[in-house]
Amino acid sequence: MNLVRFTLLSAACVALSAAAPRASTPPVSSARDAGDDGYVWCVVSDINNPKFEGYAGWFEGEGSIPYEYQIAQTEVLTWQYLEFVRAYWPYYGGDPRSEDFTGMFITARREGNGYTYEAMAGWENSPNTMSLRMAARFCNWLHNGKVNEKWAFESGVYDAGTFTQNPDGTYNDDYTRSPDAKYWIPTPGEWLKAVFYDPDRHGEGKGGWWHQPASSEVPLKIGLPPEGETNSSLWEWYSSNLPAGMYPEIQTPWGLLDASGGVPEHTSRGYALGSTFLDSDYLVRHYDTAGQVHTHAWLHPDRGYNDGLRLAKPAKVAR
């Protein structure tokens, strides 16, 4: 972990222990609204929609998706990722206490010959971070029915055998998903469409692209609800947790929450998109703009202290 990151998290932990935490906002959707897998899914349709207009130039000409798919209403939360961490730690070859493995809000405590992993108190419903490689293994594990054997983490959606590094420091990772994948890391085009494309942008049935999340051309207002619209750059996260779904009225055209705020979100090309509560107000406006890249996880796919994951899956799963 770099020094700046260590200082930030240390300060946050001190503040958390010193201040009385604000009560957590309940999850937006109750358990009965969630799918059998515990996630709430939004269907993204309008097959072969108009391409992304490329306001920022990164993904110009992309975003026209020739199939329906589902994408999670929120990012993977700490309690959801905790289950994976507990299952995978016997097979993890690195430091079992590293944030590259646990993410931001899970702690490791030595116990006998192993470790006990727990979510930081109050952060169970907050989005957690993970490396791109851990995101891929998380998808493999879900795809394989959460079988707690090593093979279930290494293949199924992504071939973890490609997760190697060359002597010059470059990586050989391949994040091409299998055709029968039940869960996956969204492509940049899938993520962009789910956040910025509106099938009724220019009138009923006349699709188009917005510049900002939540069907808007105007940046979202930073602050706590009800006045605020995003927790990006909301530095109160030092003294109280910021759960997912704080702004249930702020949605993308397809019903996604927290497209702004929380943590940046991995895509399969190694770009992470979306602003985070660690950004400044200026950077929030920058990273919330359609097509802007927050981080380049492909440069260091084994580092996990910055970006999170919003899962995708097929519109219909064969049974």
pLDDT of amino acid 2 = 38
pLDDT of amino acid 209 = 96
Report how far residue 262's alpha carbon sits from residue 255's, in angstroms, rounded to the nearest whole number: 16
Eight-class DSSP state of 151: H
Q: Which residues contact 271 (CB under 8 A, 6 or more apart)?
A: 58, 188, 293, 294, 295, 296, 297, 298
The residue among 223, 227, 222 whose CA lies nearest residue 212 is 222
**3-class SS at 70?**
strand
CB atoms within 10 A of CB 145: 9
The distance in angstroms from the start CA to the end CA of the chain is: 43
Give 281-287's long-range contacts (Cβ < 8 A, gap of 24+): 281/222, 281/233, 283/233, 284/219, 284/220, 284/222, 284/230, 284/232, 284/233, 284/260, 285/219, 287/232
The residue among 65, 101, 108, 69 whose CA lies nearest residue 84 is 101
What is the DSSP track for 193-221? HHHHEETTTTSTT--EE-SBTTTBSSPPP
Report how far residue 120's alpha carbon sits from residue 20's, in angstroms, rounded to the nearest whole number: 14
CA angle 185, 189, 190 (to 5 degrees): 50
CATH architecture group of domain 34-314: Alpha-Beta Complex (3.90)
pLDDT tens, the chain, 319 aa long: 333 333 333 333 333 333 323 333 333 433 334 567 889 999 999 999 999 987 667 898 999 999 999 999 999 999 999 999 999 999 999 999 999 999 999 999 998 888 999 999 999 999 999 999 999 999 999 999 999 999 999 999 999 999 999 999 999 999 999 999 999 999 999 999 999 999 999 999 999 999 999 999 999 999 999 999 999 998 765 556 889 999 999 999 999 999 999 999 999 999 999 999 889 999 999 999 999 999 999 999 999 888 999 999 999 754 3
Q: Which residue's entry shows tokens 């770099």?
A: 2
Find how far residue 158's CA is from the centre of its chain. Answer: 17
Which spans in 122-266 are helix H? 132-143, 150-154, 188-196
Report how far residue 109's alpha carbon sits from residue 13's, in angstroms, rounded to the nearest whole number: 16
Run of H or E including 265: strand 265-266
Report how far residue 211's alpha carbon sits from residue 228's, in angstroms, rounded to the nearest whole number: 19
pLDDT of amino acid 36 = 73
Q: Where are the domains of the chain?
A: 34-314
Per-residue b/e over 95-134, b at no fewer than 16 CB within 10 Å?
ebebbbbbbbbbebeeeeeebebebbebbbbbbbbbbbbb
Q: Which residue's entry shows tokens 């999850």?
A: 27
